[in-house]
Structure 1
Amino acid sequence: MLRFLIRRIVFGVVVLWIVTLGVFLLFFATSKDPAARFAGKSATADTLALVRHKLGLDQPLTVQYWHFLTRTLKGDLGYSFVTQSPVTDMIKSALPASLSLILGAAVIWLISGVVTGVLSATKARTLLDRGITAAVLVGISMPAFVVALTLAFLFANKIQIFPASGFVPLQQNPVQWFQHLVLPWLTLALLQSAIYTRLTRGSLLDVLGEDYIRTARAKGLPENKVIYRHGLRSALTPVLTQFGVDVGVLIGGTLVTETVFGLQGIGQLTVRSLTTGDLPVIMAVVLIASFFVVLANIIVDIVYSFLDPRVRLE
C-alpha cells in the first residue's frame, strides 16, 4: 500500500512539474516582449521597465524558469500589475468561496447520483428506471444559469428561505456560511448528479453481468450482498474517476453559479483577469486548478485501493 501511494504521489509531482513547464513556455517563451503581456493592457513605459526587472526577463530562459519554479514552490504566484497586489493574496481571498461551493456540492451530487444510479440499475426497465432516466436527461440538458436563476427566484425571492447572494466565511459564522451556500450547492448538484446517475447505472449494469456476479448468485448469496458488496464496489471505479476530474476542474469553472449568487470565487476572478489581460492571475489559476486535479486524483487512487484489491496488487 505504501509503495502504491508513493508511486502515485511521485507521478502527481511529475505531472505538476510538466504543467509548470508548459505554463512557463506558453506565457514567457512565446512572446518577444513578455513584459507587455504581463503588465496589462494599459501599462506605461515605467510599468514595463518594472515588470522586466521584477521578472528578470533580461536573463536566459533557463534562469527565468528556475526563478519561476522556486517562487511557485514557495507559494509566490507573482504580482498583478493591473490591481497592484500580490496574486497569492487575490487567490487566498477567492479560493474559500470556490472550495466551499465545490466540496459541498460534490458531497450532494456524489451521494444522490450513486443512490439514484443504483436504484435505476437494480430496477432496470421498470417505471422507476424510466422516470429516473427522464429526470437525468432533463438535468443534463438544463443550462446552469437556468437552474441557478430558478432556484434563486423560488427560494430567495418568493419563499425567502435562503439569501439571494453573498458569501460568509465558515470561520466567521458557520450558520450563515451554510445558508448562503445551500442554493449554489443545489445548482451544481442538480446538474452534476444527473451525470453520476447515468454513469453509476451503466457501470453497475455492466458489472452485474460479469461471471463472478453470476457465481455469487449461484452460491446462494443474498441479492443485496451481491449488489452492494460485490457489484457496487467494482462499479464505483469509473464514478470515482469522473469525480476526481470534476472536483479539480470545477475549481476554476463555476463562473455561472458564482455570478448568479455573488460568491466572488475563482471563476469570477478568472473572468476579470481575462478581461483586463492580467496574465499573472491567469497563470496562477491554471496552476491552482492543476494542483487540485492532481490532488483529487491521488485521493481517488487511494480510495481505489480499498474498493478493488487488484489495484493494490498492481
Structure 2
Amino acid sequence: MFRFITRRTLGAVVTLLIIAACTFFLFFAVPADPARLACGKVCPPELLEQARHNLGLDQPLFVQFLTWVGGIFLGRDYEGLGYCSAPCLGFSFVNKAPVLDTILDRMPLTISLTLGAAVVFLFFGVATGIVAALKQGKALDKIASVSSLIGASLQIYFIGTLALYFLVYKNHILRQPGYVPFTENPLNWAAGLMLPWVVLAIIFTANYTRMTRSTMVEQLTEDYVRTARAKGMANRSVVMRFALRGTLITIVTILGVDLGTLIGGAIITEQTFGLQGIGQLSIRAVWSSDLPMLMATVLVAAGAIVVFNIIVDVLYAVIDPRVRLS
C-alpha cells in the first residue's frame, strides 16, 4: 500500500508540473504584455518597464517558468509588492495580494458546498438506485428512471432561479443563500447552504440513481450473488454485503471525479446563488485578466482532481478484496 501511494503521489507531482507548464504558457505567455495588465490601463512607460522587471518578464520565457515554479516550492520576492512565502502562486494583478491567501479565504465555502451536496446526492441517489434495481420493471423502477432522466436534463441555473423565487423570495421557506463559517454557527452554516445543496443534489442524484441502478442490476446476476442466495442468505444481506459492495466501485470512481470538479469551483452554482467561492474567483479573474489568479485556480482544480483520483484508487482495495494494489 505504501509503495502504491508513493508511486501515485510522484505521478501526481509530475502531472501537476505538466499542468503548471501548460497553464503558464497558455495564460502567462500568450498575452502580448502581461506587465500592462499588472500595471493598469493608464500606466506611464517608466512604470510599465518597472512592472515588467518586477514580474521577471525581461528574462527568457523558460527562465520565467522556472522562477514561477520555484516560487511555488521556495517562495519568491516580488519587488514593489513584497515577499510571497512558499507555496507562492504569485501576486494578484487586481488586489496586489498573494494569490494563495485569497484562495484559502474562499476555499472553506467551496469545500462546505461540495461536501454538503455530496452527502445529500449520495444518500438519495444510491438509495433510489438500489430500490429501482430491486424493483426492476415495476412501478417504482419506472418512476425512478423517469425522474432521474428529468433531473439529469435540468440545468442548475434554471432550477436555482426557480428555487430562489419560490422557496426564498415568495414563500420564505428557506433563508437567502450565504456562507457563515461552521465554527461560528453550525446552524446558520447549514441554513445558508441548504438551498445550493438541494439544487446540486437534484442534478447529481439523477446521475447516481441511474448509475447505481444499472450497476446493481448487473451485480445481482453475478455468480457469487446467486451462490449466496442458494446458501439461504437473507436477501437484505445479499444486497448489502455483496451486490452493493460491487456497485460501490463504480460509484466511488464517479464520485472522485465529481468531488474534484466541485472543489475546483462549482462556477454555475456559485454564480446563481451569489456565493463567493473558488468558482466566482475564477470568473472574476477572467473578467479582470488577473492571470496569476487564473493560473492558481486552474492548478487548484487540477490538484483536487488528482488527489481525489489517488483516494479513489486506494478505496478500490478497501471496497473490493479482489483488487490488489501493486
Q: Show the counterpart of 2:76.
A: none
Mean CA deviation greater in 116-125 or 82-91: 82-91
Deviations 1:77-97 (A, max 9, x none): 111223333222221222222
Aligned length: 313
CA contact (8 A) 1:80 1:86 kept: yes
Q: 1:261 Cα shift?
A: 2.2
CA contact (8 A) 2:92 2:292 kept: yes
Q: 1:143 Cα shift?
A: 1.5
CA contact (8 A) 2:264 2:302 kept: no
Mean CA deviation greater in 303-312 or 239-248: 303-312
The 5 Å alignment of 1:136-155 reads: 136-155=148-167
Identity over aligned residues, as a percent?
A: 44
In the alignment, structure 1 residue 76 sits paired with structure 2 residue 76: no
Aligned with residue 209 of structure 1, among 221, 226, 244: 221
The alpha-carbon distance between structure 1 residues 31 and 146, as it changes in their structure 2 partners (threshold 3 A), is: closer
Q: 1:223 Cα shift?
A: 2.1
Q: Show the counterpart of 2:175.
A: 163
Deviations 1:132-184 (A, max 9, x none): 11110111111112211222223322332432132212223222111101111
Task: Determine which structure has greater relative contact order: mean sequence separation of CA pairs < 8 Å that are 6+ residues apart, divided by chain length.
Answer: 1
Q: Normalization by structure 2: what TM-score?
A: 0.88
In the alignment, structure 1 residue 261 sits paired with structure 2 residue 273: yes
The alpha-carbon distance between structure 1 residues 96 and 50, as it changes in their structure 2 partners (threshold 3 A), is: farther
Q: 1:43 Cα shift?
A: 5.9
More helix per residue: 1 or 2?
A: 1
The alpha-carbon distance between structure 1 residues 83 and 116, as it changes in their structure 2 partners (threshold 3 A), is: same
Mean CA deviation greater in 242-251 or 47-56: 47-56
CA contact (8 A) 2:71 2:88 kept: yes
Q: Show the counterpart of 1:223.
A: 235
Distance, in Å, in 2 between the alignment partners of 1:248 and 1:150 is 27
The 5 Å alignment of 1:161-310 reads: 161-310=173-322
Mean CA deviation greater in 152-161 or 109-118: 152-161
1:311 counterpart SS class: coil
Distance, in Å, in 1 between the alignment partners of 2:38 and 2:47 is 7
Q: Show the counterpart of 2:41.
A: 42
Aligned with residue 117 of structure 2, among 99, 102, 105: 105
What runs of 5+ residues in structure 2 fail to find an aligned partner? 74-85
Q: Show the counterpart of 2:141.
A: 129
2:181 counterpart SS class: coil
Q: Show the counterpart of 1:96.
A: 108
Q: 1:70 Cα shift?
A: 2.2
Deviations 1:177-231 (A, max 9, x none): 1110111111111111110111111111122222332333333332222221111
CA contact (8 A) 1:41 1:276 kept: no
CA contact (8 A) 2:265 2:277 kept: no
The alpha-carbon distance between structure 1 residues 121 and 48, as it changes in their structure 2 partners (threshold 3 A), is: farther
In the alignment, structure 1 residue 20 sits paired with structure 2 residue 20: yes
The alpha-carbon distance between structure 1 residues 40 and 81, as it changes in their structure 2 partners (threshold 3 A), is: same
Distance, in Å, in 2 between the alignment partners of 1:48 and 1:208 is 68
Distance, in Å, in 1 between the alignment partners of 2:46 and 2:311 is 46
Mean CA deviation greater in 270-279 or 85-94: 85-94
The alpha-carbon distance between structure 1 residues 54 and 130, as it changes in their structure 2 partners (threshold 3 A), is: same
CA contact (8 A) 2:99 2:293 kept: yes
Deviations 1:63-86 (A, max 9, x none): 322221122232211112233332
Q: 1:115 Cα shift?
A: 0.9
Q: 1:15 Cα shift?
A: 1.7
Q: 1:283 Cα shift?
A: 0.4
Mean CA deviation greater in 44-53 or 295-304: 44-53
Distance, in Å, in 1 between the alignment partners of 2:136 and 2:276 is 43
Q: 1:60 Cα shift?
A: 3.0
Distance, in Å, in 2 between the alignment partners of 1:91 and 1:62 is 26
Q: 1:3 Cα shift?
A: 2.4
Q: Show the counterpart of 2:61.
A: 61
Distance, in Å, in 1 between the alignment partners of 2:28 and 2:103 is 21
2:324 counterpart SS class: helix
